[in-house]
Amino acid sequence: MWHMLGFLLGLLVLCCPTTANAEQTVLDSAQSPQPYRIAIIGAGAAGSSTAYHIRKFAQHDVPINITIFEAENHIGGRTTTINALNDPRYPVELGASIFVEINQILYNATREFGLSATSREDEGTGSAYDLGVWDGANFVFTLSNDDERSGLKGTLDGWWNIAKIIWRYGLSAFRLQSIRNSVIGRFLRMYDDAFPFQDLGEVLREVDLLPVTGQTGPELLKAAGVGERFSREVIQASSRVNYAQNLADFHGLETMVCMSTEGGMSVDGGNWRIFDRMVKEAEAGIHLGAKVHRVETLPNGKSTISYNKSNAHQIDESGFDVVVLAAPYNSSWLTLSPSPSWKPGKVDYVSLHVTLFTSPFRPDPAFFGLKSDQDHLVPDTILTTLPPDTDPDSLGRGVHGVGPTTFWSLSTLRTINPTTDTYIPPSVLSGHIPAENLISPTNNNLTSPIWPRRAPNDKQYVYKIFSPAPLTAEYLIDLFGWCTHPSLPELLRRDDCTTTTNHHNTSKHHSISTIPHALLPWHHEKQWNSYPYMTPRTDFECFDIYSCKNYTAPNATDSGHDKAAATAWKGKLYYTSPMEAFISAMEASALSGRNIARLIVDRLEGRN
């Protein structure tokens, strides 16, 4: 699906010969050394990749002992998978869903780990359109489900859709392609001759990407000759579904990322499996449910980690040589001691509400201004944009920024038939177990606890909505046109259905769990601090917190450490999240982890 997120990546070349300077290793291997101890805070894409790559890069040199602290009870962070209907036949991504083949770290890892990654081609819902872009009044752009017409599978491949794009937008699509390829070319160097990099701002200057992050998407597109209409109706629909932001204050580089998502794929059974395997390959010790609240670096350069696990306060005083903070820094629950004068955390994150649910119903065409019998004209995936006459600068962010559509996107993820669908475990999908060996009654014995067996045509759709605020019962009733449905209780009907002026009125607020099961058999709501506001910038935060270019020695009275000790802390505390203000995606975090792994191993082996 072209609209989903993924992005560009390049060749990864190990920068340093592993045998160089072997004599100069910090630890003298002749003395059967203590292992070099590394703590990683966070087991999302960044932390898992850090651990995995440290193990890879350092394999033959020095003994390394990696410990990961993860606040949640699972690995993956913002890459997390849940089961629709609580049924393992229907895993769906609650966070990051898509990556592309040129995302080499992720893609190569899936191959190395024997995971299968596919781009799901659903049979569709019978709608005439795979995708439509709605501006609150009209569908300004649609892609038809054109299999029959063209004989070609896939949306943008169909000649009909291509013809439509050219007719409506002229050469804009081709101009976009050309600027995009140029940006990709520059970006690839970050995997190649510019790898590893000590400082994000510096490497972006080196590969000539600062001008791209320093301007807005519209500025970049205009300079490249991409028309305003194409930008608003197509590119902004992508920035909204992928980052819950309009283009107006969105930087040029991430704009290109939004348009590099064709061929998007996900790991069968969940993308988190990549990171789960990375942690295992790293042979890292992992504390799950362990929320770190203090990292203290002692005068001897060793760090202790204080964390909460099972509601009990714990402290690991074994003395870490390096600590990697692999999560967005939040000073309200993480204290760094001594307090660095430069602190991360100046990057604002979007608050995104993700609502996953199933229903036997399709959205009401009337909600989108169509005639009530035009069900087939409601696209499977509805992206949104602002109407032409809106000044996006005046709107702001979140509930204001979303504009008249009130949601960012509505996707039909798949069609399910709980009575008849069979279960195929991911181990089979990934080829570990041949499917022939699988057909046994137990594997079909996976009915949902909340969805009773029914007649065979118990079809349901699995939906995902991204919105800037929680959805209410009233909102979904309106969206699906359930006002007259007999199972709807009087209370909800009276609140929402007796006036005609309440279209899109989000001020009423029954929880969606008040909707009867017949209409909404299952739902799951999640608020994420999902990604940064991608405002244009040429200043980026530091990977090495105690040797940041803006760093000044910690306040000596703070914790009894003097300046001399502080300057010795270069390379003691690394931070992966600066990358997110540049590109926020699984692969970007994985690249940040790989880069920091290289910096750590190089330093350990005396190379920087």
Ligand X SMILES: Cc1cc2nc3c(=O)[nH]c(=O)nc-3n(C[C@H](O)[C@H](O)[C@H](O)COP(=O)(O)OP(=O)(O)OC[C@H]3O[C@@H](n4cnc5c(N)ncnc54)[C@H](O)[C@@H]3O)c2cc1C
565 makes contact, choosing from ligand NAG, ligand X, none, with CB < 5 to 8 Å by partner type, with none
Residue 72 within binding range of ligand X, rule CB under 6 A = yes
Tell whether residue 38 is a contact of ligand X (CB under 6 A). Answer: no
**Does 113 participate in binding ligand NAG (rule CB under 6 A)?**
no
- We find the least distance from the C-beta atom of residue 583 to ligand X, in angstroms, to be 8
State the Cα–Cα distance between residues 101 and 107, nearest whole angstrom.
6
Q: How far is CA 327 from CA 44, 116, 285, 304, 575, in A?
A: 8, 27, 18, 18, 8
Q: Scan residues 61-90 and list those touching ligand NAG (CB under 6 A).
A: 65
CB burial readout 459-475, b (16+ within 10 A) else e: ebbbbbbbbbbebbbbb
Stretch binding ligand X (CB under 6 A), from 311-319, 541-549, 565-573, 584-592: 584-592
Nearer to ligand NAG, 240 or 510 (CB): 510
Question: 144 is in the binding site of which of ligand NAG, ligand X, none (Cβ under 5 to 8 A by kind)?
Answer: none
Residues 6+ apart with CB under 8 A from 396: none
Is the Cβ of residue 21 or residue 331 nearer to ligand NAG in the bound state?
A: 331
Q: How far is the CB of 566 from ligand NAG (least distance, A)?
A: 13
C-alpha distances (whole Å) from 568 to each of 43, 270, 372 are 27, 42, 70
Q: Which residues pair with 523 in a beta bridge?
A: 357
CA atoms within 13 A on the CB side of 8: 21
Residues 376-415 that bind ligand NAG (CB under 6 A): none
The one segment of 356-364, 375-383, 506-514, 576-584 that binds ligand X by CB under 6 A:
576-584
Residue 598 found at the interface with ligand X (CB under 6 A): no
Kindly tell me which residue out of 176, 259, 512, 586 binds ligand X, with binding defined by CB under 6 A.
Answer: 586
Give the ranges where 59-123 is alpha helix by DSSP (H).
104-112
Q: How far is residue 286 from each of residues 164, 200, 208, 232, measured CA to CA in Å?
A: 52, 29, 39, 45
Judged by beta carbon distances under 5 to 8 A according to partner kind, the member of ligand NAG, ligand X, none in contact with residue 440 is: none
Three-class secondary structure of residue 361 per DSSP? coil
1, 167, 301 from 160: Cα distances, Å: 17, 10, 64
Stretch touching ligand X by CB under 6 A, among 71-79, 170-178, 209-217, 517-525: 71-79
> 113 or 349: whose CB is closer to ligand NAG?
349
**Region binding ligand NAG by CB under 6 A among candidate stretches 42-50, 163-171, 326-334, 465-473:** 326-334
Residue 310 CB neighbour total at 10 angstroms? 7
Minimum CB distance to ligand NAG smaller for 323 or for 383: 323
Under the binding rule (CB under 6 A), the answer on residue 440 touching ligand NAG is: no
Q: Which residues contact 87 (CB under 8 A, 6 or more apart)?
A: 418, 446, 447, 448, 451
353 makes contact with ligand X (CB under 6 A): no
Applying CB under 6 A, which of residues 293, 302, 493, 524 lies at the interface with ligand NAG? 293
Q: Could you say which of 292, 402, 410, 534 contacts ligand X (CB under 6 A)?
A: 292
DSSP string, 1-26: -TTS-----------S-TTTTGGG-S
Q: Count the alpha carbons within 13 Å of 525 in the hemisphere toward its beta carbon.
A: 11
Closer CB to ligand X, 98 or 207, in the complex: 98
Q: Which is nearer to ligand X, 79 or 304 (CB)?
A: 79
Contact residue for ligand X among 36, 52, 57, 69 (CB under 6 A): 69
- Residues 478-537 within binding reach of ligand NAG (CB under 6 A): 501-502, 505, 507-508, 529
Q: What is the dihedral of CA 172, 173, 176, 177, to 10 degrees?
A: -140
* Torsion sign (Cα): 463, 471, 585, 537: positive
3-class SS at 272? helix
Which residues ranging from 76 to 115 are in contact with ligand X (CB under 6 A)?
77-79, 95-99
Residue 427 binding target from ligand X, ligand NAG, none, CB below 5 to 8 Å by type: none
**585 belongs to the binding site for ligand X (CB under 6 A):** yes
In angstroms, how far is CA 440 from the centroid of its own chain? 36
C-alpha torsion sign, points 89, 93, 98, 99: negative
Nearest-5° angle of CA 17, CA 56, CA 425? 145
Q: Which positions from 22 through 41 interact with ligand NAG, judged by CB under 6 A?
A: 35
**Closest CB to ligand NAG belongs to which residue?**
12
d(CA 220, CA 334): 38
Quick check: 584 binds ligand X (CB under 6 A)?
yes
Q: Scanning residues 327 to 386, which ones bind ligand NAG (CB under 6 A)? A: 330, 332-333, 342, 349
Asked if 403 and 158 touch (Cβ cutoff 8 Å), the reply is no
| Binding test (CB under 6 A) with ligand X, winner from 39, 45, 176, 204 | 45
Distance, CA of 163 to CA of 489 (rounded, Å):
48
CA distance 239 to 259: 9
* Displacement of CA 375 from its chain's centroid (Å): 32
Q: Is 311 in the site for ligand NAG (CB under 6 A)?
A: yes
Q: Pick one of 162, 288, 334, 568: the residue that binds ligand X (CB under 6 A).
A: 334
531 binds ligand X (CB under 6 A): yes
Name which position in 212, 274, 326, 410 contacts ligand X (CB under 6 A): 326
Task: Decide: is 267 part of the binding site for ligand X (CB under 6 A).
Answer: no
By C-alpha distance, which of 592, 48, 598, 601 is closest to 279?
Answer: 48
Sheet holding 139-144, edge to edge: 139-144, 129-134, 381-384, 409-416, 460-467, 349-359, 522-532
* Shortest spacing between CB 82 and ligand X, in angstroms: 12
Site for ligand NAG, rule CB under 6 A: 11-12, 35, 65, 104-105, 108, 283, 285, 291, 293, 308, 311, 313, 318, 330, 332-333, 342, 349, 441-442, 445, 501-502, 505, 507-508, 529, 539, 541-542, 550, 555, 557-558
Residue numbers at the binding site for ligand X (CB under 6 A): 4-5, 41-47, 69-72, 77-79, 95-99, 291-292, 326-327, 333-334, 352, 354, 528, 530-531, 576-577, 584-587, 589
